[in-house]
A and B are shown apart, each in its own frame.
Chain A
Amino acid sequence: MAAPLVLVVLVAVTVRAALYRSSLAAFISERVEVASPLNAWKRVVEGLALLDLGVSPYSGAIFHETPLIIYLFHFLIEYAELVFMITDVLTAVALYLAIQDFNKVVFKKQKLLIELDKYAPDVAELIQTPMEMHYIPLKVALFYLLNPYTVMSCVAKSTCAINNTVIAFFILATIKGSAFLSAVFLALATYQSLYPLTLFAPALLYLLQRQFIPIKLRSKSFWLYTMQYAALYLCSLVVIICLSFFLLNSWDFIPSVYGFILSVPDLTPNIGLFWYFFAEMFEHFSLFFVCVFQINVFFYTIPLAIKLKEHPVFFMFVQIAIISIFKSYPTVGDIALYMAFLPVWSHLYRFLRNIFILSCVLIVCSLLFPVLWHLWIYAGSANSNFYYAITLTFNIGQILLISDYFYAFLRREYYLTHGLHLTRQDGTEAMLVLNCAFHCDLSHQLWAVQEELKKVSELIPGLHLWPRRSSDHKLTVTASWRCLLLWRFPLHCFDQ
Chain B
Amino acid sequence: MTTPEAVAIGRAAGSGSGRWGGGMLAAVLLLLLLLAAGPGRAGAGRARRDALREELLLSPLPAGDVAATFQFRTRWDADLQRGAVSHYRLFPKALGQLVAALGVRELHLALTQGFWRTRAWGQPPLQAPAGAELWVWFQPTVTDVDKAWKELSNILSGIFCASLNFIDSTNTVTPTASFKPLGLANGTDHHLLRYAVLPREVVCTENLTPWKKLLPCGSKAGLAVLLKAERLFHSSYHSQAVHIRPICRDASCLAVSWELRQTLTVVFDTFSSGQGKKDWSLFKMFSRTLTDACPLASQSKVYVDISPKNKEKELLEVTPPPTSVHEAIVQGDKRTYAVYDLLSPSLFNTSRSLNVQLKWKRPQDSSELPTPILHAQRYVSGYGLQTGEISTLIYNTHPYRAFPVILLETVPWYLRLYVHTLTIITKGKENKPSYIHYQPAQDRRRPHLLEMLIQLPANSVTKITIQFERALLKWTEYTPDPNHGFYVSSSVLSALVPSVIAMKDVDVEQSPLFTSLFPSSDGSSYFVRLYTEPLLVNLPTPDFSMPYNVICLTCTVVAVCYGSFYNLLTRTFHVEEPSRGGLAKRLANVIRKFRGVPPL
| A binding-site residues for B, Cβ under 8 Å | 30, 32, 42, 45-46, 48-50, 53, 55, 59-62, 265-269, 273, 275-283, 286, 293, 296, 300, 303-304, 306-307, 322, 325-326, 376-378, 383-385, 388, 392, 395-396, 399-400, 403, 406-407, 410-411, 414, 422, 424-426, 430-437, 443, 446-447, 465, 467, 491-492, 494, 496
Q: Are A434 and B573 in contact (CB under 8 A)?
A: yes
Interface of B is mostly: mixed
Q: Are B416 and A267 in contact (CB under 8 A)?
A: no
Q: Which of B418, B441, B583 has the most CB of A within 10 A?
A: B418
Q: Are B568 and A406 in contact (CB under 8 A)?
A: yes
Smallest distance from the beta carbon of A471 to chain B beta carbons, Å? 8
Query: Could you list 30 examples of A-B contacts with CB < 8 Å?
Result: A46-B420, A49-B418, A49-B419, A49-B420, A50-B438, A50-B440, A268-B472, A303-B569, A306-B569, A325-B561, A326-B558, A377-B386, A378-B383, A383-B541, A384-B541, A384-B543, A399-B557, A410-B573, A411-B573, A422-B575, A432-B576, A433-B573, A434-B572, A434-B574, A436-B571, A491-B566, A494-B559, A494-B564, A494-B567, A496-B571
- Enumerate chain B residues within 8 angstroms of A435, measured Cβ to Cβ: 571-574
Q: How far is the CA of A496 from the CA of B574 in the complex (A)?
A: 14
Q: Are B473 and A267 in contact (CB under 8 A)?
A: yes
Given A53-B419, A53-B438, A269-B472, decide whether A467 and B567 contact each other with a Cβ distance below 8 A.
no
Q: Are A414 and B573 in contact (CB under 8 A)?
A: yes
Q: Are B476 and A283 in contact (CB under 8 A)?
A: yes
Contacting residue for A296 out of B442, B476, B558, B589, CB 8 A: B558
- Enumerate chain A residues within 8 angstroms of B428, measured Cβ to Cβ: none
Interface residues of B in 555-587 (CB under 8 A from A): 557-576, 578, 580, 583
B413 within 8 A of A: yes
Q: Which of B413, B442, B542, B561 has the most CB of A within 10 A?
A: B561
- Enumerate chain B residues within 8 angstroms of A436, measured Cβ to Cβ: 567, 570-571
Q: How far is the CA of A282 from the CA of B583 in the complex (A)?
A: 43
Smallest distance from the beta carbon of B306 to chain A beta carbons, Å? 50
Query: Across the two chains, which residue of chain A brings its CB closest to B574?
Result: A435
Query: Across the two chains, which residue of chain B brings its CB closest to A304?
Result: B569
Q: Which of B419, B444, B567 has the most CB of A within 10 A?
A: B567
Q: Are B570 and A61 in contact (CB under 8 A)?
A: no
Chain B 395-438, CB-CB to A under 8 Å as 1, else 0, gives 00000000000000000010010111000000000000000101
Q: Are B589 and A496 in contact (CB under 8 A)?
A: no
B98 within 8 A of A: no
Q: Are B574 and A392 in contact (CB under 8 A)?
A: no
Q: Are A273 and B580 in contact (CB under 8 A)?
A: no
Q: Are B567 and A434 in contact (CB under 8 A)?
A: yes
Query: Across the two chains, which residue of chain A brings its CB closest to B483?
Result: A380
Smallest distance from the beta carbon of B483 to chain A beta carbons, Å? 10
Given A296-B558, A399-B557, A399-B560, decide whether A437 and B571 contact each other with a Cβ distance below 8 A.
yes
B550 within 8 A of A: yes
Q: Are A282 and B547 in contact (CB under 8 A)?
A: yes
Smallest distance from the beta carbon of B519 to chain A beta carbons, Å? 31
Q: Are B472 and A267 in contact (CB under 8 A)?
A: yes
Q: How far is the CA of A280 from the CA of B583 in the complex (A)?
A: 42
Smallest distance from the beta carbon of A460 to chain B beta carbons, Å? 16
Q: Are B542 and A280 in contact (CB under 8 A)?
A: yes
- Enumerate chain A residues within 8 angstroms of B567, measured Cβ to Cβ: 434, 436, 494, 496
Q: Give the number of chain B interface residues (Cβ < 8 Å).
A: 63
- Enumerate chain B residues within 8 angstroms of A411, measured Cβ to Cβ: 573
B471 within 8 A of A: yes
Given A276-B550, A447-B580, decide whether A307 and B569 contact each other with a Cβ distance below 8 A.
yes
B475 within 8 A of A: yes
- Enumerate chain B residues within 8 angstroms of A376, measured Cβ to Cβ: 385, 540
Query: Across the two chains, which residue of chain A brings its CB closest to B420?
Result: A49
Q: How far is the CA of A377 from the CA of B540 in the complex (A)?
A: 7
Given A42-B418, A55-B438, A61-B413, decide whether A30 and B386 contact each other with a Cβ distance below 8 A.
yes
Q: Are B575 and A424 in contact (CB under 8 A)?
A: yes
- Enumerate chain B residues within 8 angstroms of A60, measured Cβ to Cβ: 439-442, 448
- Enumerate chain A residues within 8 angstroms of B573, measured Cβ to Cβ: 410-411, 414, 432-435
B18 within 8 A of A: no
Starting from the known contacts A42-B418, A304-B569, 20 additional A-B residue pairs (CB-CB under 8 Å) come to: A50-B419, A61-B416, A61-B440, A266-B471, A273-B557, A280-B543, A280-B547, A281-B474, A296-B558, A378-B385, A385-B543, A392-B553, A396-B557, A399-B561, A411-B573, A432-B576, A433-B573, A436-B570, A437-B572, A496-B568
Q: Are A277 and B576 in contact (CB under 8 A)?
A: no
Give the 3 A-B CB pairs with smallest separation, nearest first: A60-B440, A494-B563, A49-B420
Q: How far is the CA of A254 from the CA of B180 in the complex (A)?
A: 37
- Enumerate chain B residues within 8 angstroms of A437, measured Cβ to Cβ: 570-572
Q: Are A443 and B580 in contact (CB under 8 A)?
A: yes
Q: How far is the CA of A273 from the CA of B440 in the complex (A)?
A: 28
Contacting residue for A46 out of B383, B418, B471, B554, CB 8 A: B418
- Enumerate chain A residues within 8 angstroms of B557, measured Cβ to Cβ: 273, 392, 395-396, 399
B551 within 8 A of A: yes
- Enumerate chain A residues within 8 angstroms of B551, measured Cβ to Cβ: 277, 280-281
Q: Are A293 and B558 in contact (CB under 8 A)?
A: yes
B387 within 8 A of A: yes
Contacting residue for A276 out of B542, B561, B572, B590, CB 8 A: B542
Interface residues of B in 278-298 (CB under 8 A from A): none
Q: Are B554 and A276 in contact (CB under 8 A)?
A: yes
Query: Across the two chains, which residue of chain B brings its CB closest to A432?
Result: B573
Q: How far is the CA of A46 from the CA of B468 in the complex (A)?
A: 12
Q: Which of A48, A60, A403, A426 has the most CB of B within 10 A?
A: A60
- Enumerate chain B residues within 8 angstroms of A430, measured Cβ to Cβ: 575-576
Q: Are B542 and A273 in contact (CB under 8 A)?
A: no
Q: Which of A50, A61, A403, A410 has the most CB of B within 10 A?
A: A61
Q: Are B554 and A273 in contact (CB under 8 A)?
A: yes
- Enumerate chain A residues within 8 angstroms of B253, measured Cβ to Cβ: none
Q: How far is the CA of A443 from the CA of B438 in the complex (A)?
A: 68
- Enumerate chain A residues within 8 angstroms of B541, measured Cβ to Cβ: 383-384
Q: How far is the CA of A352 from the CA of B573 in the complex (A)?
A: 15
- Enumerate chain B residues within 8 angstroms of A286, measured Cβ to Cβ: 474
- Enumerate chain B residues within 8 angstroms of A403, measured Cβ to Cβ: 561, 564-565, 568
Chain B 371-407, CB-CB to A under 8 Å as 1, else 0, gives 0000000000001111100000000000000000000
- Enumerate chain A residues within 8 angstroms of B566, measured Cβ to Cβ: 491-492, 494
- Enumerate chain B residues within 8 angstroms of A269, measured Cβ to Cβ: 472, 540
- Enumerate chain B residues within 8 angstroms of A42, measured Cβ to Cβ: 418
Q: How far is the CA of A355 from the CA of B298 in the complex (A)?
A: 91
- Enumerate chain B residues within 8 angstroms of A266, measured Cβ to Cβ: 443, 471
B546 within 8 A of A: yes
- Enumerate chain A residues within 8 angstroms of B83, measured Cβ to Cβ: none
Given A45-B420, A432-B576, decide whether A383 and B543 contact each other with a Cβ distance below 8 A.
yes
Smallest distance from the beta carbon of A273 to chain B beta carbons, Å? 5
Q: Which of B550, B580, B593 has the most CB of A within 10 A?
A: B550
